[in-house]
Structure 1
Amino acid sequence: MKSNDAAISAMQQLLQERVMAEPALAIKLANPNKSMSGAVNYLCSQIKKSGLCCVEQSTVVSILLHYFNEEDIKDDGNVGCDIVVAKPELSEEDKEELKKQAMEQYKEEQLREIRRQSAPKPQPKPTATTPKAEEEINVQPSLFDL
């Protein structure tokens, strides 16, 4: 399984926040028979079994906690799925900062395009032709030449 590192770190953060609220949970998460990769595999298999393609954060946390709470759950092996983490709502300051960054990027792209368009175009190199060959092509016969 090629899990997204951002998704795994987000899941670990969710579990750490839960440990802060319930310190006794830290003992279950430290179980040597359980691993985060096993938890992610279990999560993916449970979501696939449910037929859903999108789940809420609370569902993810409950499935992960179920994996760590139950001793008889074994790692299902690699489950092929893509994990996407929804980003939280942005604050007004974050939106303004992103807007400024987008404007700067747009300006840079426009400047690059203007420079590219105003750059002198490469002129084709003149081909060397021999004068005799050129003269022969342009010679018109005359009736008075003998």
Structure 2
Amino acid sequence: MAQTMKSSTSAIEVMQRMLQERCIAEPMFAIKMANPNKSMEGAVNYLCAQVQKSGLCVVDDAMVMNLLVHYFDENEIEDCGNVNCNIVVGKPELSDEDKAEMKAQAMEQYREEQLRELRRQNQPKPQAKATAPKAGSEINVQQGNLFGEDF
């Protein structure tokens, strides 16, 4: 893959899986993908170029799939060179497994925070040190009479 696509590796992997599923469902499409004049890098560059031309910032998986299939279907599509863009894959819905894992992580984080707070509360409080009066300051001491008489 081109260096401009390294940050989008996970997106490219998702697109490859989408195309593999299409090949399984439609074996004739696999023949089109085997065209030596076509490549995954070319497909991704075509996709990015088409999205940039459209002015859109976000596209759904159906549009991605349509553009990728169009690239492999049409022999007349020329290589558009490397297109500098970043592709981000959104995951709109979490699986039950992902939800359970996130809940477990949140519970563990909460438990750790509570333990830290309990430890902090149980630490002995620092004792205030007795300080000697500063030189030159007045000392106000009331002395009692040893014989109990008030003056």
Q: Secondary structure at the match of 2:84?
A: coil
| Aligned partner of 2:78 among 74, 80, 88 | 74
Partner letter of residue 23 of structure 1?
P
Q: Secondary structure at the match of 2:85?
A: coil
Matched, 1:44 2:40: no
Q: CA deviation at 1:96?
A: 2.2
Tell me which moved more, 33-42 or 94-103: 94-103
Partner letter of residue 94 of structure 2?
L
Tell me which moved more, 82-91 or 33-42: 82-91
The aligned counterpart of 2:60 is: 56
- CA deviations on 1:82-130 (whole Å, 9 max, x unpaired) are 11111141233431221111222444466678879x6xxxxxxxxxxxx
How many residue pairs were aligned? 122
% identical aligned pairs: 64
| Aligned partner of 1:97 among 96, 101, 105 | 101
Q: Say what the alpha-carbon RMSD is for the aligned residues.
A: 2.6
**1:1-146 alignment runs, 5 A limit:** 1-2=4-5, 3-108=7-112
The aligned counterpart of 2:139 is: none
The unaligned stretches of length 5 or more in structure 1 are 119-146
Q: CA deviation at 1:75?
A: 1.8
- CA deviations on 1:21-64 (whole Å, 9 max, x unpaired) are 11110011111111111110000000000011111111101100
TM-score (norm 2): 0.68
Partner letter of residue 73 of structure 1?
I
The aligned counterpart of 1:138 is: none
CA distance in 2 between partners of 1:33 and 1:56 (Å): 27
Runs of 4+ in structure 1 off by over 6 angstroms are 112-116
Q: 1:25 to 1:108 in 2, by over 3 A?
A: same
The unaligned stretches of length 5 or more in structure 2 are 124-151
Tell me which moved more, 10-19 or 85-94: 85-94
CA distance in 2 between partners of 1:4 and 1:31 (Å): 24
Partner letter of residue 52 of structure 1?
L
